[in-house]
Amino acid sequence: MNDRNFADIISDLKKSEERLNVYIPSLSSEVEFKALTLLQQKNIIDNLSNNLFGVIEFYSVIHNLIKSSTTHDISTLNTIDRINIILSFVKNISPVCNDINMAELLEKNKTITLPELKKTITTDKFVLEISTPSLTTDIKFNNYIVNNYKNEKALLGKLLINEVSKFVNKITVSETGQVIDLTELSVKNAILVIEAIDTKQLKEVFGYITTIRDTEALLVKYEDKRLEIGPELFIM
| Domain residue extents for the chain | 17-114+215-234, 118-212
Q: Give the CA distances from residue 68 to residues 3, 49, 115, 139, 231, in Å, rounded to whole numbers and listed in that order.
A: 26, 24, 28, 14, 18
Element holding 32 (H helix, E strand): strand 29-34
**DSSP string covering 157-182:** HHHHHHHHHHHEEEEEETTT--EEEG
Most confident option among 35-39, 65-69, 155-159, 231-235:
65-69
Contact in structure between 197 and 128 (CB atoms under 8 Å): no
Reported as a single tens digit per residue, the pLDDT across 188-232 is: 999 999 999 999 999 999 999 999 999 999 999 999 999 999 999
- Work out the pLDDT band at 235, boundaries 50, 70, 90: confident
Q: In what order do the strands lie in the sheet with 118-122?
A: 118-122, 126-131, 168-173, 179-181
Q: How far is CA 99 from the centre of its chain?
A: 24
Task: Tell how strand 179-181 and strand 221-222 pair up.
Answer: unpaired
**88-116 tens-digit pLDDT:** 999 999 999 999 999 999 999 999 999 99
Nearest to 134 by CA among 178, 72, 193: 72
